[in-house]
Amino acid sequence: MSKDAEYLQFGGMAVPEGVMMRSPNHYAVACRAPNGEIVCKTEPLEKTWIGRQQWLKKPFLRGTLAMLDTMALGIKAMNYASNIQLDPRYMSEEEKAKASGKEPSKALTGAAIAGTMILSLALGLAIFRFAPELLAQFLAGNSQGKDAGGIKANYIAEIIKVVLFIGYLSIIRRWEPIYEVFRYHGAEHKAINVVEAEEELSIENAMGQTRLHPRCGTNFAIIVILIGFLLFPLIPRNLWFTGMTDEWLNMFTSKLLIALSRLAIELMVLPIIAGISYEVIRAAGKAKDQRWVNILLKPGLATQYITTAEPNEKHCEVAIRSLKAVMRAEETGELDNTDHAPADGVVEDVLT
């Protein structure tokens, strides 16, 4: 394997009590069951309808493709890991008694995955995009016409977005189940760092690695926010309701419409920003040991101190199992699947 291919070979994400790893052609989910056993599922990556669109794989377009693909695969992996935690075959006798009489969880269908993705995107846009624009519109005062709050409101909105995003991550980190997921997130990075350092993939070597990684989704999110901070304030505040005044409509309605217009603008520009951010992450992944990368990605790497936590050996053991599974699948085609893994952990692909 060439050094260039190696840097782009593996990625992953943390799931409840486990880690999902993906390679160019396979993905694996390894998680620790309530009885302490590590359960693993490895499957080939299916080509979804979106994934088959060759024009979406061009530079500066593939960022949006990667984002949607990662969301779909991530939901599948989380569903599988959650099912493992609820499967009676992996519970202690005490847990089985508590769970008796409860209906087993059902796997997600392709339609359910698509619905979950749409709902998640809608909530994310409402909380992290629309709400800051509306709040900024009120905080900036009552300027009218095309400017309608102008550059002042634009910068207020971008500042609110940054504070809201960092604040949200800092708050949920305090919840113990999320903190545990963040520890698996750190273990995922450590395992990949071992491979990229060309060391033996062992728990000892993983524990010695940093829990940060330049290709992390946190970096991607921060780069998107920073590019937006530079770009969105330059776009006029009100492109469509140029003749609107607070006398024409009541004050709240006029500001609501302007905030909605800003959201529409952001939705049109966001794929471009995602494309640029993805190319930056790819370049940084291939040159992660160079000084300019550490400077460019410093905000994202700093934020990873929030979205990751220092794992212990049990977390690294799970991450290594998942990574070894996709490495073996790529090299030999052998799939590491726990024989008695629950059937309802298998879900349909979305958008096939």
Express each pLDDT in 49-98 by its tens digit.
Answer: 555 666 666 777 777 777 777 888 888 898 899 888 888 888 766 666 66
Residue 83 has what pLDDT? 87
Distance CA 211, CA 192 (A): 10
CB 150 within 8 A of CB 239: no
pLDDT grade for 14, boundaries at 50, 70 and 90: very high
Q: In this predicted model, which residue has the larger pLDDT, 169 or 140? A: 169
Distance CA 324, CA 112 (A): 30
Residue 324 has what pLDDT? 95
3-state secondary structure the chain: CCHHHHHCCCEEEEECCEEEEECCCEEEEEEECCCCCEEEEEEECCCCCCCCCHHHHCCCCHHHHHHHHHHHHHHHHHHHHHHHHHCHHHCCHHHHHHHCCCCCCCCCCHHHHHHHHHHHHHHHHHHHHHHHHHHHHHHCCCCCCCCCCHHHHHHHHHHHHHHHHHHHHHHHCCCHHHHHHHHHHHHHHHHHHHHHCCCCCCHHHHHCCCCCCCCCHHHHHHHHHHHHHHHHHHCCCCCCCCCCCCCCCCHHHHHHHHHHHHHHHHHHHHHHHHHHHHHHHHHHHHCCCCHHHHHHCHHHHHHHHHHCCCCCHHHHHHHHHHHHHHHHHHHHCCCCCCCCCCHHHCCCCCCC
Distance CA 258, CA 183 (A): 41
Q: How far is CA 236 from the centre of its chain?
A: 30
- Which stretch of 36-40, 44-48, 216-220 has the lowest confidence by average pLDDT? 44-48
User: What separation in angstroms does the CA of 202 have from each of 64, 190, 199, 251, 292?
Assistant: 34, 10, 8, 62, 30
- Given CA atoms 292, 297, 299, 302 in this order, what sign does their dihedral have? negative
Distance CA 319, CA 184 (A): 7
Question: In what side-by-side order are the strands of the sheet with 38-44?
Answer: 11-15, 18-22, 26-32, 38-44
pLDDT grade for 2, boundaries at 50, 70 and 90: very low
Residue 118 has what pLDDT? 76
Which two three-digit tokens encode residue 274? Answer: 């995602």
Mean pLDDT of 164-183: 94
Residue 288 has what pLDDT? 66
Express each pLDDT in 58-67 by its tens digit.
Answer: 777 777 777 7
Does residue 15 have a pLDDT over 90? yes
Distance CA 176, CA 287 (A): 35
Mean pLDDT of 207-223: 90
Express each pLDDT in 292-325 by its tens digit.
Answer: 777 878 898 899 999 999 999 999 999 999 999 9
Express each pLDDT in 250-272 by its tens digit.
Answer: 667 778 888 888 888 888 888 88
Q: Whole-number mean pLDDT of the chain?
A: 80
Mean pLDDT of 210-238: 88
CB 325 within 8 A of CB 87: no
Residue 110 has what pLDDT? 55
Does residue 341 have a pLDDT over 60? no
